[in-house]
Amino acid sequence: MVQPFLKTILRGISFLRENPQVAYTAFLLVAIPAAFIASGQKFLEVSSLNQERMEKERIGILNDALVILAREKLAEPMSLQPLVEEFREAGNGLVAIRIFLYENGIPVIAASLDRDEIGTYGSRDDDLDFAALRVEDTKIIPTMEQGGERRWKTVRGITTENGTIAGVVVTEVSMAHIDRFVAQNIRGAYLFLSLIIAALVFLLLRQARFIEYGVLYRRLKEIDRMKDDFISMAAHELRTPLSVIRGYLGMISPDRLNAEDREGLTRVNASVENLGSLVNDILDVVRIEEGRITFDKKTADHTPLIGETVSSLEYLAREKKLSLSFAPGPSAPFSADPARLRQVLTNLIGNAIKYTFSGGVTVTTETDGHTMSIRIRDTGIGISAEDQKRLFEKFFRVRSKETEDVRGTGLGLWIAGNIVTKMNGSISVESIRGKGSDFIISFPVISRETS
Ligand code: ADP
């Protein structure tokens, strides 16, 4: 019996540890209403204290006025009754006014809101007690009626000019209107609180869904990281067998092979090179994403390097019966890692050849003194404006009839874009679908004085 209970608790604890947001949500669910209740309570307390203070002041003023006026009328006690009646309207909750005068030291009611009491000693014992209190200042005594109604009795002596207390004014004020007001406020506050709690529960329930999303997001990130680790590991592992294959292929002398085998060897070599560049691409992606890519930059006029890269790709153009030319224009020195620049150019010229089926590719350079640009122009299939927007995204490939037989990963431009921008340059494309494309990479010119 105890074991399953313990297990549930332990499972709950480990769930909370993995999902601290749940504990946070539960805390909010309790803390926010508690804070509202506490501050509401404080507010009600202060406001009812305030009400009572104002009420006390009002009663004090009423008594002051009554006592002053009663003192003036002590000579003719008959005129006390009209005075009391004038005060009838004096305020909320005024239940009784009695003026006691001492006859042979005994307090007798000389005027009262209840006319029947006149000439008596008062209908209640405590009246007498009050009347016996010969107080000079207003004294307030809280009492409780049978129905639970709070009342304040006040008593104050009527002091004559020679300092003796000739009588006592006793008033009785009901606190029912204040209590009603407070109760009404409490009801309002609780209604408001219920609305807040309902809104809070609604929001937190919605948040529960976000918590779920949060958990999913974390899992996805974890899986994504595992995938990256796996790809990186696989690419690394592929490098060794690839160099072994390359080594053995290098030992085969084509001269000793017949034409058919030579053709086979060429194909195997090409496939190994493809595989090698794929592995390198993957490793570059991982390096860029992890911020581990490094550059060995050199400030130079890189025109010769551009020419060499173009020459090294001539065989590809020849295979497709395309023209490939390098027409260097004005050039200027800029800072770049030669190996990385060669990699980017190889990719862009390679793409230009890959996606061109007639005509050719021209590589030119231009500079305005501030920027040095290399333009790779082809007369290929071109890229629509819509596709151009996503061209430099990872894995993006244009899906069309013309490209369905062209192999690729969609990584080349993403890598090229990253390398160029990390070397302080920029890459852009100008293209018309069906007419051809221009890929332009630009670098800030570094003048020889500043370099
Ligand atoms: P891929 O390995 O598919 O060639 P890239 O990242 O190098 O990957 O290029 C992304 C996509 O951009 C290509 O799949 C192709 O659709 C389009 N593309 C790139 N270069 C050209 C070009 N010169 N002409 C037309 N389309 C191109």
Per-10-residue mean pLDDT of the chain, 451 residues long, equals: 80 78 77 84 85 85 86 84 82 83 82 86 60 68 83 85 83 86 84 85 80 86 89 88 92 89 90 90 90 94 96 94 96 95 96 96 96 97 95 93 87 96 97 96 82 46
Tell me which long-range contacts 407-413 makes (C-beta under 8 A, separation of at least 24): 408/354, 409/278, 409/281, 411/281, 411/282, 411/284, 411/285, 412/281, 412/347, 412/350, 412/351, 413/347, 413/351
Please state whether 6 falls in left (phi above 0), alpha (psi between -120 and 50) or beta. alpha
CA 362 to centroid of chain Cα atoms: 51
DSSP-assigned states of every residue in 3-18: HHHHHHHHHHHHHHHH
Residue 313 C-alpha to ligand 1 middle, in angstroms? Answer: 17
Question: Mapping DSSP to helix (H, G, I), strand (E, B) and coil, where does residue 431 land?
Answer: strand
Q: How far apart are CA 293 and CA 415, in angstroms?
A: 11
Cβ(101)–Cβ(167) below 8 Å: yes
Counted residue by residue, the chain has a size of 451
Nearest ligand 1 atom, CA 391: 12
Q: How far apart are CA 383 and CA 362, in angstroms?
A: 17
Residue 397 C-alpha to ligand 1 middle, in angstroms? Answer: 6
Q: What is the pLDDT of residue 124?
A: 57
DSSP-assigned states of every residue in 292-321: ------EEE--HHHHHHHHHHTHHHHHHTT
Q: How far apart are CA 436 and CA 258, in angstroms?
A: 40
Please state whether 296 falls in left (phi above 0), alpha (psi between -120 and 50) or beta. beta
Strand partners, 103: 106
Q: How far apart are CA 390 and CA 401, in angstroms?
A: 19
Helix H segments across 172-258? 176-251
Distances (CA, A) of 330 to 345, 361, 445: 18, 19, 12
Nearest ligand 1 atom, CA 414: 6
Q: Which residues line ligand 1 (CB under 6 A)?
A: 351-352, 355, 378, 380-381, 383, 391, 396-398, 403, 408-414, 437
Neighbouring residues of 371: CB distance < 8 A, sequence distance ≥ 6:
442, 443, 444, 445
Residue 353 C-alpha to ligand 1 middle, in angstroms? Answer: 10
CA 70 to centroid of chain Cα atoms: 70
Residue 351 C-alpha to ligand 1 middle, in angstroms? Answer: 6
Tell me which long-range contacts 63-69 makes (C-beta under 8 A, separation of at least 24): 63/138, 63/154, 63/156, 63/169, 63/171, 64/138, 66/97, 66/99, 66/169, 66/171, 67/156, 67/157, 67/158, 67/169
Residue 66 C-alpha to ligand 1 middle, in angstroms? Answer: 102
Residue whose CA is at the smallest distance from ligand 1 atom 4: 408
Residue whose CA is at the smallest distance from ligand 1 atom 11: 397
Among 391, 420, 428, say which to mutate for ligand 1: greatest number of ligand atoms within 8 Å of CB.
391
Residue whose CA is at the smallest distance from ligand 1 atom 16: 398
Q: What is the pLDDT of residue 449?
A: 54
Q: How far apart are CA 30 and CA 368, in angstroms?
A: 68
Residue 412 C-alpha to ligand 1 middle, in angstroms? Answer: 8
Q: How far apart are CA 108 and CA 377, in angstroms?
A: 121
Q: How far apart are CA 66 and CA 170, in angstroms?
A: 10
Residue 422 C-alpha to ligand 1 middle, in angstroms? Answer: 21
pTM exceeds cut of 0.85: no
Neighbouring residues of 315: CB distance < 8 A, sequence distance ≥ 6:
none
